[in-house]
Amino acid sequence: MSDDPLVAPTNPTLVEAFPMGTLYCGDCLEVLETKVEPESVDLIYADPPFFTNKTYEVIWGDEAEVRSFEDRWEGGVEVYADWLAERLRACHRVLKPTGSLYLHCDWHAAHHIRLRLDAIFGRSNFRNEIIWHYRKWSAGSGLYQRNHDNIYFYVKSDAKGRAFNRIFMPRAASTLKRFGEHRIISGHDAKGERVPSKIAAAKSVGVALDDVWDIGRVPPIKQLYPTQKPDGLLERIIRVSSNKGDLVLDPFCGCGTTVVAAQRLGRRWIGIDVSQTAINVIRTRLQQVTTAAATDIESIGLPTTAAQLRKLKPFEFQNWVVRDKFGGTVGPKGGDKGVDGLTFMTHEPIRVKQSDGVGRNVVDNFLAALRRRRKARGYIVAFSFGKGAYEEAARVKRENGTEIVLKTVEELLSGPPK
């Protein structure tokens, strides 16, 4: 919902008034260079991984599902800044001459990023450093509490026709008390000397939005992503620097706040993220705020072959098996290490192995996990199984009545599990 008081709040659910955009799963550099036309984008909001050198805990929508989101860069901040600069040059390529870019960062690498932006976009095309101010718990003594992020606002050129829709904020209580709701006229006389303020007949529209924005953060308990930004922040940027029907692009779209806000506001959009889990979270969010079916949301680059699935990070592969193929829940955190997820409705345990030739010992360990959970049926998923695994699964069913279903990745690719 919008945080701008003089803008009507958006309806969280749209009748299908605007067509869906496109989600790309992959490195934004490759997508920008091969899939997006040059000078076709009106607005880019980029929220790249921050150079924080720490690991976040990520909650992907399920109460108990927690995974690791790494934000680490070998080689230091210069390596990170050069990596980002390469992608910013690709962003510059796809922006229209009338286009705008907002780059979101924090204190860790802000000065390095600003230098790269000046080199790519030109110092004369810098417009504002926006300070997003928020509140959070105190972080100890010895320094001032860090309660803001930096958002650098650049334009592609001085070409006419660039969108900039001004937003006005309410006037201060003291101003309202003195002048009421009327517009204030001030200026200088013919000699250049200051003249007293006057009250005009017309009512004031408020005070023009400045470059310090007080918008609350997304509470950690409600985050789908460790650096998730509030809807109001993205809605404000999109309202100001684009018009209905314009194309908005987010090259690091994470859990999809940009594309969801763009969809609500009637903009076309492109979202890119390297994580297939993130893409699926965005698809779910879009279904929640529109009348679209899953088939209406075009997703390009999601893994569709065993070779592509082998390249996924372990938690991405696990999410593909449990969430995408079984429709189940990953986790729980801190639970039984022999179980990686539960099927939908029946909560039958799932064990995921991103390997070949899985053997008898995995079956035996999984049987112990089933017994602890008092379950008579469960699934093991792998790229392939050895002869001993099939023999042990057959023996367990024959002697104990417990069914351990061995599923290969190729079988899951060919259809839903049975």
Q: What is the chain's pLDDT, residue by residue, as a tens digit (418 residues)?
A: 444 543 434 444 443 445 789 999 999 999 999 999 999 999 999 999 888 777 777 766 655 566 677 777 778 889 999 999 999 999 999 999 999 999 999 898 999 999 999 999 999 999 999 999 998 776 667 888 889 999 999 999 999 999 999 988 777 767 666 666 666 666 666 666 776 666 655 566 778 899 999 999 988 778 877 788 999 999 999 999 999 999 999 999 998 999 999 999 999 999 999 988 889 889 988 988 887 666 678 899 999 999 999 999 888 899 899 988 998 888 755 455 789 999 988 899 999 999 999 999 999 999 999 999 999 999 999 999 999 999 999 999 999 999 999 999 999 999 878 7
Which residues, including other chains, have CB under 8 Å from residue 126's CB and lie 6 or more apart?
117, 118, 152, 153, 154
How distant is the alpha carbon of residue 5 from its chain centre?
25
In the chain, the domains with their CATH numbers are 22-169+209-300 (3.40.50.150), 171-205 (no CATH), 306-414 (3.40.1340)
pLDDT at site 9: 40
Q: Which of 43, 50, 154 is nearest to 110 (CA)?
A: 50
Give the residue from 23, 47, 19, 48 showing the smallest Cα distance to 35. Answer: 23
In SS3 terms, the chain reads as CCCCCCCCCCCCCCCCCCCCCEEEECCHHHHHHHCCCCCCEEEEEECCCCCCCEEEEEECCCCCCEEEEEECCCCCHHHHHHHHHHHHHHHHHHEEEEEEEEEEECCCCHHHHHHHHHHHHCHHHEEEEEEEECCCCCCCCCCCCCCEEEEEEEECCCCCCCCCCCCEECCCHHHHHHHCCEEEEEEECCCCCEEEEEEEEEECCCEECCCEEECCCCCHHHCCCCCCCCHHHHHHHHHHHCCCCCEEEECCCCCCHHHHHHHHCCCEEEEEECCHHHHHHHHHHHHHHCCCCHHHCEEECCCCCHHHHHCCCHHHHHHHHHHHHCCCEECCCCCCCCCCEECCCCCCEEEECCCCCECHHHHHHHHHHHHHHCCCEEEEEECCECHHHHHHHHHHHHHHCCEEEEEEHHHHHHCCCC
CA separation for the pair 45, 28 (Å, rounded): 13
CA-nearest of 84, 264, 265 to 163 is 265
CB 292 within 8 A of CB 264: no
Closest CA relative to residue 322, chosen from 274, 277, 367? 277
